[in-house]
């Protein structure tokens, strides 16, 4: 393993306060993820999975503890600096795709490049390359998202997530809205990206998805309680015909 993790959480807590009531999303969680890893996070509803993903993705701040991205302590950075680092380092894939339906596929994919000042012709080239790299078709570029199937929309969402060449790709239930055959194709896309060096963290309820990753982190009551070796024979790639 490389000496430095690409993502590290050190004794991270997250408290949510509503009036006099305090709910703990994370309770002293520590985690290290190294470049090139493909890991999954599983646990019951309310266990802290989404909180973990939000903090790892710089969408939320910990109540206490440290968060490091590529060795940089990001725990106390200002919002503007966090937004810049999030755009540079993190790619997000969501269950409901989160595509903007009034924009074309091309415009959706190139969105992360606009704040970086990438010229229009270069944005189009990068967007097409990203779409093709996840098994998409360039003929989709002028279409609107709702003209595509669910599986095609998720590939567009993955292309958008990787177009800026992020250090780490975070996926929150990326197959949850898909049928099994389409989910298999999406997981195959993640596997292909990982083989090309992309670091990936997937939050999932689906053991057949988790069993396709390198490690399964089980989370409960805001902390990691177990690290499980996947059973590749139960990976969705091997169970869906």
**Rounded to whole angstroms, how far apart are CA atoms 34 and 8?**
9
Number of H helices, E strands in the chain: 8, 10
Q: What is the pLDDT of residues 35-84, one digit of tens each?
A: 999 999 999 988 999 999 999 999 999 999 999 999 999 987 888 999 99
Whether residue 23 is contained in a domain is answered as no
Note the pLDDT of residue 2.
54
Note the pLDDT of residue 177.
87
Whether residue 12 is contained in a domain is answered as no
User: What is the CATH number for 228?
Assistant: 3.40.50.300
Q: What is the pLDDT along the chain (241 residues), one digit of tens a residue?
A: 556 899 999 999 999 988 888 889 999 999 999 999 999 999 998 899 999 999 999 999 999 999 999 999 998 788 899 999 999 999 999 888 899 999 999 999 999 999 999 999 999 999 999 999 999 999 999 999 999 999 999 999 999 999 999 999 999 999 998 999 999 999 999 999 999 999 999 999 999 999 999 999 999 999 999 999 999 999 999 998 7
Whether residue 81 is contained in a domain is answered as yes
Taking Cα atoms as reference points, which of 81, 51, 46, 53 lies closest to residue 63?
51
Taking Cα atoms as reference points, which of 2, 193, 237 lies closest to residue 93?
193
**Rounded to whole angstroms, how far apart are CA atoms 210 and 176?**
13
Number of domains in the chain: 1
* Cα distances (Å, whole numbers) of residue 149 to 54, 139, 185: 27, 14, 13
Whether residue 144 is contained in a domain is answered as yes
Bridge partners of 32? Answer: 8
Whether residue 186 is contained in a domain is answered as yes
In contact, 201 and 39? CB cutoff 8 Å = yes
Strand 21-33 to 7-18 pairing: antiparallel
Whether residue 16 is contained in a domain is answered as no
State which residues form the domain around 186.
Answer: 35-57+77-239
User: Half-sphere exposure of residue 163, counting CA atoms within 13 Å on the CB side?
Assistant: 32
Whether residue 200 is contained in a domain is answered as yes
Whether residue 4 is contained in a domain is answered as no
């Amino acid at each position: 393993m490389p000496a430095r993790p690409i993502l590290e959480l050190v004794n991270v807590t997250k408290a949510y306060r509503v009036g006099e009531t305090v709910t703990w999303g994370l309770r002293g969680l520590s985690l290290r993820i190294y470049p090139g890893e493909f890991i999954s996070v599983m646990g019951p509803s309310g266990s802290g999975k989404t909180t973990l993903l939000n903090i790892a993705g710089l969408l939320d701040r910990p109540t206490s503890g440290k968060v490091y991205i590529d060795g940089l302590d990001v725990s106390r950075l200002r919002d503007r600096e966090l937004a810049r680092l999030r755009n540079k380092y993190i790619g997000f894939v969501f269950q409901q795709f989160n595509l903007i339906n009034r924009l074309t596929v091309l415009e959706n994919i190139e969105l992360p490049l606009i704040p970086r000042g990438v010229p229009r012709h270069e944005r189009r080239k990068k967007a097409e390359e990203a779409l093709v790299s996840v098994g998409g078709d360039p003929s989709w570029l002028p279409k609107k998202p709702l003209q595509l199937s669910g599986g095609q929309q998720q590939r567009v969402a993955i292309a958008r997530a990787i177009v800026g060449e992020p250090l780490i790709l975070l996926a929150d239930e990326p197959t949850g809205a898909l049928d099994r055959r389409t989910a298999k194709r999406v997981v195959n896309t993640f596997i292909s990206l990982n083989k090309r060096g992309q670091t990936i963290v997937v939050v999932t309820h689906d053991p057949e998805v988790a069993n396709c990753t390198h490690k399964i982190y089980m989370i409960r009551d805001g902390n990691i309680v177990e690290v499980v070796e996947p059973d590749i024979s139960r990976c969705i790639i091997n169970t869906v015909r």
